[in-house]
Amino acid sequence: MNTGILQKELHTKWIGRQTLAFHEIDSTNDEAFRRAGNGAEEGLLVMADFQTKGKGRKGRSWDSVSGGNIAMSILLRPDISPSAAPRLTLVMALACAEGIKEASGILTGIKWPNDIVVKGKKICGILTEMKVCGADPPEIVIGVGINVNTEGFPEEIRDRAASLFLESGKKQSCERVMASILERFEKYYAVFLKTGTLAELKDNYDQACVNNGRRVCVMDPKGQYEAEAVGINEKGELLIIRDDGSMDSVYAGEVSVRGIYGYA
Ligand code: ATP
């Protein structure tokens, strides 16, 4: 990652005003929280070529397969209720899908709530973490891992992982992809903050979401079942129609979804 090129490409007002670039780090999310603890300002951008302990949801891991990929985190201190914070994952997912399209021309979709997929394989994962201290606004870090120039994946994830390079046959500029995503995120974040909900972003998210109108397997800790996904609500929950015709909403904190015939 070249910070000089990034600064030239990046046209944001406040995201990335302070940028820290590492060749290798444990986790860009963890580093952003460490810096937050030392008073770093909102919009801090942490990026790394390799993460030794990249994180996924629910204790899973995100693998840095080779160089030439994106691992980045941004620090936010929004004045919102902590219960609204997970919605920022969906705001970032929308920014990623659109930013990747703008920078590389590759059309991707969102697998609710936090993964970006291309032809059913995962190209990008997003992890939002939060720390709440008394009545202060929560400290929120959103981490994004994108397989940009990976040429091949280890056996364990080969069947479900993709990269922009494998999809397009061309090396892509990480800096350009990052800049496009962060510019969009900054814009959508302002829209989100007006209400603390996805009310104004929902239609765009629904259009990009690959689950909509399809059967999904809902992996609820209380039991797994199939249903039809029909979109999200303002809270970012996935709306589903169960086989008895009843409508329900599922909350991302507890639940994952899979396609019936594969990952997405
Ligand atoms: P969910 O639907 O709950 O988000 P998920 O399996 O996509 O489930 P995440 O926490 O989003 O889980 O991401 C972590 C998972 O992503 C890992 O368990 C692994 O299967 C997969 N993974 C890890 N590294 C990569 C990578 N570089 N590219 C694609 N997939 C990866």
pLDDT digits 0-9 by tens, 42-67: 999 999 999 999 999 888 999 988 78
| Residues flanking ligand 1, CB < 6 Å | 56-57, 60-63, 65, 114-115, 122, 125, 147, 157, 161, 256
Q: How far, CA to CA in Å, does 260 sit from each of 58, 224, 264? A: 22, 12, 8
How far does the centroid of ligand 1 lie from the alpha carbon of residue 245, in Å? 31
- Confidence band of 242 (pLDDT split at 50, 70, 90): very high
pLDDT digits 0-9 by tens, 192-201: 999 999 999 9
Q: How far apart are CA 150 and CA 119, in angstroms?
A: 17
Neighbouring-strand partners of residue 73: 46, 143
Domains and CATH numbers, the chain: 3-206 (3.30.930.10), 211-257 (2.30.30.100)
Q: How far apart are CA 78 and CA 158, in angstroms?
A: 37
pLDDT digits 0-9 by tens, 99-126: 999 999 999 999 999 999 999 999 999 9
Average pLDDT over residues 230-236: 97
- pLDDT, mean over the chain: 95
Average pLDDT over residues 249-263: 86
For residues 71 and 88, the answer to whether their CB atoms sit within 8 Å is no
Q: How far apart are CA 131 and CA 141, in angstroms?
A: 9
Q: How far apart are CA 3 and CA 9, in angstroms?
A: 10
Task: Choose one of 60, 121, 211 to mutate for the ligand 1 pocket test, by most ligand atoms within 8 angstroms of C-beta.
Answer: 60
pLDDT over threshold 90, residue 22 = yes
| Residue among 56, 44, 36 at smallest CA distance from 14 | 44
Q: State both tokens at 85.
A: 């914070």
Q: State both tokens at 121.
A: 């394989």
- Confidence band of 186 (pLDDT split at 50, 70, 90): very high
| Residue among 28, 11, 12 at smallest CA distance from 190 | 12
pTM value is 0.96
- Confidence band of 33 (pLDDT split at 50, 70, 90): very high
